[in-house]
Structure 1
Amino acid sequence: MIDQLMQKPDILLIITDQQRWDSITCADHGWGHTPNIDRLANEGVYFEQCYCAAPSCVPSRASFFNMQWPSKIGPMKNGDLWKTSWVQLFKDTGYRTLNVGKMHTQPFDAKCGFDQRFIVENKDRFNEPRFYDDYDKHLKQLGKTPPNRLTTPRAPDYTTNLGAFAWPLDKELHYDYYVAKTAKWLLDGLDDSPLFMQIGFPGPHTPYDPPAEYLNLIDESKIPFPPEYEPGDEILPLKQYRQIMIEGNHDGIMWNERPTSEQLRRLRKYYAANVAMIDEQIGEIIAKQEANGRLDNTIIIFTSDHGDSLGDHRQIEKWTMYDENIRVPAIIWAPGRLKEGQRSKQLIAQMDLVPMLFELAGVQLEDSGDAINAKSVLENKRPEREYVYAEHGGCTQLPDIECMTMIRNKEYKLVHYPNRDYGELYNLIEDPYELSNLWNSKSHASIRSNLERQTNSTT
């Protein structure tokens, strides 16, 4: 082991898209089928209270890969420019840096510190201006057309299936299978250089479209239903967002104001089946690295860019600051470098995983920006975060706002909308599902004021 630790480790950074924190079996009340992800947690470190910096892809990923809050680097919504990352630092120290799958840089083909990228963008396959990624080119050569935003509304059950479809092509042509197959191919061609590979699975992002065989892995009895929620007195952005998803066709979804229990169970089953497929492919990637004799000197990070409401708060997808959207799975597996089987309930931001990764890899990081070192928190060498933050700008799903900022500690969450007379405040101890907005509560006025001041002084 000493000889291995003298060598730079390989790094596999696995990022799924839109995966809830509770969709892995090892989570508290977890309801997915994820034996391989569970293995990483059981043999590594599982941060149970990890929060991303934004409830949509671009600002969340840009923040993570630059270790700064979105407003400090610019991208506040999907489509905003970002093309730099700390991956360049690994490249500068001799790593071969590869990206397979989704990064969601803007532009899509930004180098972002990688020697080479094998780009797979949104599952919806509807990007303007039109960008043909590596997956598009692969299917074009095969004469195949995957589902897209134009074809899914033609399905006979489109108005009732809430975005859940069985994958209509061969399993081998699924986006997530293609990403894993490409990653395994690249792992077979390694040289003596240390490897940094970011593997970006497009799933379980909408449409929820697993190959049918994975539905058999999901135990429906373990699927939780959303807590009962009545949106009558909601603030305007939340009402508008729900209505936009009901009236629109975003990511192949036609949402419903009041889905039935049967619809919700089906929706979550298809989502969990897509996660199960990804988990299977993660297991094969691990097996490939082991067959190459390099697994014992490999660090694996597993996380997601944000979550998904899946019917919680009568919403679908993301874009709001509820925990189901901003709390993410976060696991670091590093044999010989970390004690196995640690579960941390310490409050961290997702970007805090990055300084920890640099330290474990023995790569110098001179400036960690807004991030703190999660390893130091884990080892009680510094306190956990008192607060975590998230930000998002106005967009087509949030048309009435300029931006929103979330601040959260272990007791309260506040969502601030500048220049608006509304907001959100939740008591997370008494109301963990964030069902009762205390923004206008006189007895909570001092708590609200303190959190607003803290928000303005930090982000």
Structure 2
Amino acid sequence: MAERPNIILIMTDQQRYDSIAALGYPYAVTPNLDSLAENGVTLTDCHITAPSCVPSRASLFSGYYPHTTGVLANGQKWQHTWVEKLRDAGYRCVNVGKMHTIPYNSDSGFHERYVVENKDRYMEGRYYFDEWDKALAANGLVKQQRETYRQLPDYRDRLGTFDWELPEALHSDAFVGNMAKWWVENYPPTEPLFLQVGFPGPHPPFDPPARYTKPYLECNDLPLPQPTREELDSLHQELKDKRQHDVEVDHDSVVWSLDPTPDQMHRLWAHYLGNVTLIDEKVGELLASLKERGYLDDAIVIFTSDHGECLGEHGLIQKWSMYDIVTRVPTIIWSTSGRFEGGRELNGLCQLFDLGPTILEYAGITPPESFEARSLKSALETGDWTPRTHVFCEQMGDVAMAGGTEFMTGVRSDTWKLVHFKGSEDGQLFDLENDPKEVRNLWSDPAYLDRKRELLDVMRDWLIESNYRTRDVMAGAR
């Protein structure tokens, strides 16, 4: 066993916890991720710190909460990461695919970056020409995107679902998987290696090649969301406004419906799961190449995502909310050389950015004392750990926060969740033990006033402690 293992961090974008067969969703075709879970450790209650791409990733790769990094919404600049510490310690640091730094092409601690960004860019860096764009152009092709999708007569009825009709190898997730495999197979062997592979999917547009979608379309047993009128009427006004906004504005080529048909929902889930199966296939191919080149003789392999996806639950699409389907992400950690026992679950609350100090410790680097993230190394190796009593989530007004709410803050314990909306007297309070689907909002129920006050106190104390702990960190320096 080497002193420092190779570290492989594989990330998807917008992947739900319940999209992998081994994690309790038998409808998913995910044999390679299932194998990873069977051999590794599954973190069953890992929650993000922000329900959108950029602030979640900035938090993960810095070790601080979004309010400390100053990155609280998509499009905000960030570029410095703890990857710089790996590079300075002698790791060869390589990124293939999505990191979502702003600017996209900052080095962020990597020796090499092969950047592939959002499938359908319409905000910052819309005309940034990434590696995927270059590959399409070299083949005389233009990627499928919003301008062309809008020309389809049934565009508004598709809910963001399309078939990838260009060469399969040039689908964004196939391209990222193939490029990572190409790097592993062609670069002169280098150790220790930190390889971050960022798949753009299953983030919308939901557009896998048809062969991945077909089995799910033929499955008549897919459990589809069926929010009741009572639940929709009880949504916070911000989320009601979001529902309407997503009908009127086609973010990521998705035009939402306030009352989707069962056929529309079936197609939505089939395309989403089809994209997950495509990614699973590419993960398997990458791991096979890593093994053949010797990188898995001693490695820590991590699979996770930056946040989840509503997919029609609660009447919502995409992210920008704080339901568990958005905040809880699949997270699997595997030691290929037995540094810790696999084939088990690590139950208890943790946060996605806890992966940062975990990686640093396995690389022989002491995380900064000011880190708000906590290493899971001891928990992985001994199983003896103290889970977080609460996890937190933050989001500043973003493109789909159309109701005028400037800021959302969430706090979750094992059994309760509270979401505070700045400037609103209304909020969300859920009894997760008796209402795990988060359908019955107890915010205005006088019987739960003490519980609401308790969680608001926890939120206040967390913010005070955070400000104190990071007092020497320049907030917003990125």
TM range (shorter): over 0.9
Residue in structure 2 matched with residue 43 of structure 1 by the alignment:
39
Larger deviation: 23-32 or 103-112? 23-32
Residue in structure 2 matched with residue 394 of structure 1 by the alignment:
397
Q: How does 1:26-105 map to 2 (within 5 A)?
A: 26-105=22-101
CA deviation after TM superposition for structure 1 residue 448, in Å: 0.4
Q: 1:140 to 1:244 in 2, by over 3 A?
A: same
| SS of residue paired to 1:345 | strand
1:126–1:149 CA contact under 8 A, matched in 2: no
Look up the equivalent residue of 1:11 and give its one-letter code. I
| SS of residue paired to 1:232 | helix
1:407–1:413 CA contact under 8 A, matched in 2: yes
2:75–2:123 CA contact under 8 A, matched in 1: no
**Aligned residues: percent identity?**
41
Residue in structure 2 matched with residue 317 of structure 1 by the alignment:
318
Q: 1:222 to 1:363 in 2, by over 3 A?
A: farther
Distance 2:44 2:425 in 1: 34
Residue in structure 1 matched with residue 197 of structure 2 by the alignment:
199
CA deviation after TM superposition for structure 1 residue 430, in Å: 1.0
1:229–1:435 CA contact under 8 A, matched in 2: no
Residue in structure 2 matched with residue 360 of structure 1 by the alignment:
362
Structure 1 unmatched runs, 5+: none
2:116–2:132 CA contact under 8 A, matched in 1: yes
Distance 1:43 1:361 in 2: 21
Residue in structure 2 matched with residue 215 of structure 1 by the alignment:
213
| SS of residue paired to 2:197 | strand
Distance 1:147 1:457 in 2: 48
Matching residue within 342, 355, 371 for 2:344: 342
Superposed CA offset, 1:378-414 (max 9, x none)? 5354311100010000122113112110000111100
1:303 aligns with 2:304: yes
Distance 1:126 1:418 in 2: 27
CA deviation after TM superposition for structure 1 residue 5, in Å: 3.0
Distance 1:216 1:151 in 2: 23
CA deviation after TM superposition for structure 1 residue 170, in Å: 0.9
Q: 1:347 to 1:153 in 2, by over 3 A?
A: same
Superposed CA offset, 1:423-447 (max 9, x none)? 1101111111111111111010010
Look up the equivalent residue of 1:263 and give its one-letter code. Q
2:304–2:331 CA contact under 8 A, matched in 1: yes
Distance 2:399 2:331 in 1: 29
| SS of residue paired to 2:9 | strand
Q: CA RMSD in A?
A: 1.5
CA deviation after TM superposition for structure 1 residue 190, in Å: 3.2
CA deviation after TM superposition for structure 1 residue 372, in Å: 1.5
CA deviation after TM superposition for structure 1 residue 310, in Å: 0.4
| SS of residue paired to 1:228 | coil
| SS of residue paired to 2:8 | strand
Distance 1:246 1:190 in 2: 50
Residue in structure 2 matched with residue 252 of structure 1 by the alignment:
253
Look up the equivalent residue of 1:203 and give its one-letter code. G
1:99–1:117 CA contact under 8 A, matched in 2: yes
1:31–1:224 CA contact under 8 A, matched in 2: no
| SS of residue paired to 2:194 | strand
Residue in structure 2 matched with residue 134 of structure 1 by the alignment:
131
Superposed CA offset, 1:138-180 (max 9, x none)? 2112110111121111123212111111101010110011111
Q: How does 1:117-196 map to 2 (within 5 A)?
A: 117-129=113-125, 130-188=127-185, 189-196=187-194
| SS of residue paired to 1:53 | coil
| SS of residue paired to 1:66 | coil
Q: 1:276 to 1:449 in 2, by over 3 A?
A: same
Distance 2:189 2:243 in 1: 50
Distance 2:85 2:223 in 1: 42
Aligned length: 455
Distance 1:100 1:315 in 2: 31
Residue in structure 2 matched with residue 285 of structure 1 by the alignment:
286
Residue in structure 1 matched with residue 458 of structure 2 by the alignment:
454
Q: 1:443 to 1:297 in 2, by over 3 A?
A: same
CA deviation after TM superposition for structure 1 residue 193, in Å: 3.1
Larger deviation: 239-248 or 367-376? 367-376
